[in-house]
Every structure is written in C-alpha cells, then in structure tokens.
C-alpha cells in the first residue's frame, strides 16, 4: 500500500560541489523533529534523492546529480522550495512511499 510522505530536505554548496555534487545537510519527516543525517537516513530517502556517501568523510552524503543550487532547484525533484540563505536550498519533498516507513 502506497501513501504520500513529506520530508523537509536541505542541501548546501561546499568546496567539493564541482567534483562530488551538493552536500546533503539533513532531512526531517513532515518538517518536524530532529534533523536526520548519515546512517540515520531511511533507505527510501537515500534512493529517492540519489545520495552517495562521500569517500573519506564519516557520515557526510552528497547528491552527485546536482553541482549547483540552481541545478537542484530546476532539477527533476518535485520539491516546494522554501526561503533559505544563498548558500543553502531547503524545501518540502512529497512522494509516494510503499511499505513501512
């Protein structure tokens, strides 16, 4: 049974953006609660956003598909972008999820 799930997600520019993609800052379900990072991220979130662990950096993830915040905002993700500082992108991502969350 599939149902809609909303996650608030955050990405930011960093010195390795051109080589490794944008840095994934964190996510929280329904825009509430503590921000999840690294190993605490659910598998469906990692797969849906296309995140990869950064080599040699414990707990840091990147999104290699996007190298600038402009690319991310104009990209394929169905996200309602929110106001955020110029070095960061924050938005609500809603998608159909199946199984246990």
Whether residue 13 is predicted with pLDDT greater than 80 in this model: the reply is yes
**pLDDT at residue number 65:** 92
In the chain, the percentage of residues whose pLDDT exceeds 70 is 94
pLDDT one-digit tens code per residue, 22-55: 999 999 999 889 999 878 888 888 888 899 998 8
Whole-prediction pTM: 0.85
Q: In what order do the strands lie in the sheet with 88-98?
A: 52-53, 61-63, 22-29, 2-12, 88-98, 79-82
- How far apart are alpha carbons 53 and 93 in whole angstroms? 21
Q: Which of 37-46, 53-62, 78-87 has the highest mean pLDDT?
A: 78-87
What pLDDT is recorded for position 100? 57
Rg of the chain in Å (alpha carbons): 13
Residues near 85 by beta carbon (within 8 Å), at least 6 away in sequence: none
């Amino acid at each position: 049974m599939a149902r809609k799930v909303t996650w608030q997600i955050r990405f930011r520019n960093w010195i390795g953006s051109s080589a490794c993609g944008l840095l994934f800052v964190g996510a929280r379900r329904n825009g509430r609660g503590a921000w999840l990072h690294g190993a605490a991220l659910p598998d469906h979130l990692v797969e849906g956003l296309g995140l990869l662990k950064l080599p040699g950096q414990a707990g840091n993830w990147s999104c290699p598909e996007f190298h600038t915040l402009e690319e991310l905002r104009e990209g394929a993700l169905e996200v309602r972008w929110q106001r955020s500082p110029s070095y960061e992108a924050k938005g609500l991502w809603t998608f159909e999820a199946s199984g246990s969350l």
